[in-house]
Amino acid sequence: MTSTGWWPAACLLGLVALTVAPGLSCRKDGAGGGRDPLPIVRTSSGVEMVLLPGGFFEMGSAGGERDERPVHRVWIDALLMDRTEVTQDQFRRLQMPDPSHFKGPRRPVEHATFAEVVAFCNERSAAEGLGACYRLDEQRGTWSCDFDATGYRLPTEAEWEYACRASTTAERYFGPGGEPALRKHAWYAANASKATHPVGLKKPNGWGLYDLYGNVAEWCNDGYDPNYYRTSPARNPAGPPAARLVVLRGGAWNSKPDACRSAARAGEDPKFHDVCFTRDSVGFRCVRKPIKD
Amino acid sequence: MGKRRRGRTRWALIMFLVGAVAVLDARADERSDLRAALGKLPYGIVYESYRGSDWELFAMQADGSAGRNLTRSPSTDDLYPHASPDGKRICFVVDEGKGKARSRNVYLLGADGTGRKLLARNARQPCWGPDGRRVAYLPGEFDRFTTTDYATRGLVIHDLATGRSRRHVNDKLHHLYNPCWSPGGGWFTATVHGGMGHRHANLAFPAAGQGVFKIPHVGGCRPDLSPDGKRVSWNPSDHAIAVADVTLSPHGPAVTNVRKVVTCDKDHEVYHSDWSPDGKYLAFSYGPKGGEQVGAMAKGWHICVADASRTNVWIALTSDGQSNKEPDWFPVARGGLGR
Using CB atoms, pick whichever of B194, B237, B290 lies closest to residue A99. B194
Query: Strand B231-237 relative to strand B240-249: parallel, antiparallel, unpaired?
Result: antiparallel
Q: What does the DSSP assignment read for B69-124? A: ES---TTSEEEEEEE-TTSSEEEEEEEES-GGG-EEEEEEEETTS---EEEESSEE
> Residue A232: helix, strand or coil by DSSP?
coil
Distance from CA of B238 to the nearest CA of A (A): 8
Give the residue ranges of chain B where pLDDT is below 70. Answer: 1-3, 18-26, 333-339
SS3 A185: helix
The answer to whether A69 touches A58, Cβ cutoff 8 Å, is no
pLDDT at residue number A114: 87
Residue B103, Cα to own-chain centre: how many angstroms? Answer: 23
Q: In terms of Cα–Cα distance, which of A197, A194, A175 is closest to A186?
A: A197
The DSSP secondary-structure symbol of B18 reads H
Cβ neighbours of B49 (radius 10 Å) = 23
Q: What was the pLDDT predicted at A15?
A: 44
Residue of B nearest to A94 (CA): B144
Inspect the interface and report whether the beta carbons of A97 and B148 lie closer than 8 Å.
yes
- Its pTM stands at 0.87
Q: How far apart (Å, rounded) are the C-alpha atoms in residues B219 and B214? A: 9
A213: exposed, middle or buried (C-beta count within 10 Å: 0-12, 13-18, 19+)? Answer: buried
Instruction: Please tell me the distance from the alpha carbon of residue A47 to that of residue A81, in angstroms, as a whole number.
Output: 10
CA distance B33 to B35: 6
Residue contact B291–A275, C-beta within 8 A? no
> CB of B245 within 8 A of CB of B231?
yes
DSSP state of A204: P
Taking 3-state DSSP, the helix, strand and coil percentages for chain A, each rounded to the nearest 5, stand at 25, 20, 55
Q: Which helix (H) or strand (E) holds B331?
A: strand B324-331
Cβ atoms within 10 A of the Cβ of A192, count? 18
What residues contact residue B29 under an 8 Å CB cut-off, 6+ apart? none
Chain B CB contacts of A280 under 8 Å are 199
CB burial of A277-291 (b: ≥16 within 10 Å; e: otherwise) equals ebbbbbbbbbbbbbe
Sign of CA dihedral A258, A263, A268, A272: positive
User: What's phi and psi for B91, nearest 5 deg?
Assistant: -105, 145
Amino acid at A118: V
| Closest CA–CA distance from residue A293 to any residue of chain B (Å) | 23
Query: Per-residue pLDDT for chain A (293 aa), expressed as one digit of tens each?
Result: 333 444 444 444 444 434 433 334 556 554 434 456 799 999 999 999 999 999 999 999 999 999 999 999 999 999 999 999 999 999 999 999 999 999 999 999 999 988 899 999 999 999 999 999 999 876 666 789 999 999 999 999 999 999 999 999 999 999 999 999 999 999 999 999 999 999 999 999 999 999 999 999 999 999 999 999 999 999 999 999 989 899 999 999 999 999 999 999 999 988 766 666 688 999 999 999 997 54
Residue among B149, B193, B296 minimizing CB distance to A138: B296
**Residue among A96, A140, A280 whose CB faces B199 most closely:** A280
Name chain A contacts of B150, Cβ cutoff 8 Å: 97, 99, 275
The string of DSSP codes covering A129-183 is TPPP-EEEETTTTEEEE-TTSSS-BPPPHHHHHHHHHTT--SSSTT-S-HHHHHH
Task: Give the C-alpha separation, B9 to B208, whole Å.
Answer: 67
Burial of A88 from C-beta contacts in 10 A (0-12 / 13-18 / 19+) = buried
Question: What is the SS3 assignment for A22-50?
Answer: CCCEEEECHHHCCCCCCEEEECCCCCEEE
What pLDDT is stored for residue B112 in this prediction?
A: 87
Q: Is A3 near chain B, with CB under 8 Å?
A: no
- Residue B290: closest CA among A203, A103, A274, A187: A274
Helices marked H in B180-247 — which ranges? none
Identify the closest residue of chain B to A115 by CA–CA distance.
B148
Query: What pLDDT score was predicted for residue B111?
Result: 86
Residue B129 is predicted with a pLDDT of 98
Beta bridge partners of B90: B83, B109
Chain A touched by B300 (CB under 8 Å): no
CB A164 within 8 A of CB A206: no
Name the residue among B207, B202, B201, B171 with its Cα closest to residue B187.
B207
Contacts of A257 (CB under 8 A, 6+ apart): A178, A179, A182, A188, A190
Q: Please identify among residues 63-102 of chain A the ones whose CB lies closer than 8 Å to any CB of chain B.
A: 95-101
Q: What's at B68, amino acid-wise?
A: R
Residues B191 and A174: their CA atoms lie apart, in Å, by 43
Q: What angle do CA B142, B146, B147 make, to 5 degrees?
A: 135
Cβ contacts of B143 on chain A, cutoff 8 Å = 95
**ipTM of this complex:** 0.83
Alpha-carbon gap, residue B12 to B30, rounded angstroms: 27
Distance of CA A213 to the CA centre of its chain: 11
Q: Which of residues 115-134 of A touch B (CB under 8 A)?
A: 116
Note whether A36 and A28 are within 8 A (CB).
no
